[in-house]
Amino acid sequence: MVTVGLLYPGHSAEDDYPALEARLDGAIKLPVVITSVGEDAHRVDALLDLGRAERLADGAFELAATQPDAVMWACTSGSFVFGPRGARDQASGVAAALGVPASSTSLAFVDALKALGVRRVAVAASYPEDVAQHFVRFLTAGGAEVVSMGSHGIITAAEVGTLETAQVIAMVKAADHPDAEAVLVPDTAMHTLAIVDELEAAIGKPVLTANQVTVWKGLHLLGPVPALEALGTLFAAPAAAPGERK
């Protein structure tokens, strides 16, 4: 059994991960450590503070007790605001602290698109417009083309965590675009791991959610990703490990 450790900021949808672990009947372990939060705000200055190295280092120290095989910084906005290089530096710092491979949700989105061979995407963002545009730039730097973006101006992760399934489906449908090959839902504060198949059924194309790609990338760091049911197109077929030909 593999263990993917998760560094998760604050409290909103962290229960998505133990719920998935239970549904998979222990096939993988997903221990969560809550990292410290200064201000719960989808605002660039607050997000730069949220993802600073000291907070991640403290979380990594606590996570070490779970003996993870890989670690994910399970936060999208607290990684993409640093840009691609900054996000890679975050992951490198966590990897060095724990001696295991590490990545983040933002990097996972880029890698998941490449694994699926998808380039043109729509974004269903809970964030305010200015924060969402940071994610658009991050994706663009990773080779994606964002053909449509919907932002919903939700300031706090706590509020995002209260969204009902119908609201999430409505956000995804509103953001979709005829030219988009997939729709991305970039907020780990949103409960999505139990509804990925519903989201895909609503628009008839792949949907990548933050918590979904976080788990996928954690497994991808360790080898070919196993096919898992009810987690959407991304988990429908095994993906090659980093450095392997897909």
Residues 102 and 220 in one domain: yes
Query: What is the C-alpha to C-alpha distance for residues 53 and 40, in angstroms, rounded to an integer?
Result: 17
Residues 204 and 226 in one domain: no
Residues 25 and 49 in one domain: yes
Could you give the dihedral angle defined by the CA atoms of residues 80, 75, 183 and 131, in that order, rounded to the nearest 10 degrees? -50
Question: Count of domains in the chain?
Answer: 2
Look up the CATH number of the domain holding residue 177. 3.40.50.12500
**Residue 245, domain member (yes or no):** no
Q: What is the CA radius of gyration of the chain?
A: 16
**Residue 164, domain member (yes or no):** yes
Residues 58 and 96 in one domain: yes
Query: What is the C-alpha to C-alpha distance for residues 136 and 158, in angstroms, rounded to an integer?
Result: 23
**Residue 32, domain member (yes or no):** yes
The pTM assigned to this predicted structure is 0.93
Residues 201 and 225 in one domain: no
One digit per residue, pLDDT tens: the chain, 246 residues?
899 999 999 999 999 999 999 999 989 999 999 999 988 878 889 888 889 999 999 999 999 999 999 999 999 999 999 999 999 999 999 999 999 999 999 999 999 999 999 999 999 999 888 999 999 999 999 999 999 998 877 877 777 888 999 999 999 999 999 999 999 999 999 999 999 999 999 999 999 999 999 999 999 999 999 999 899 999 996 555 565 543
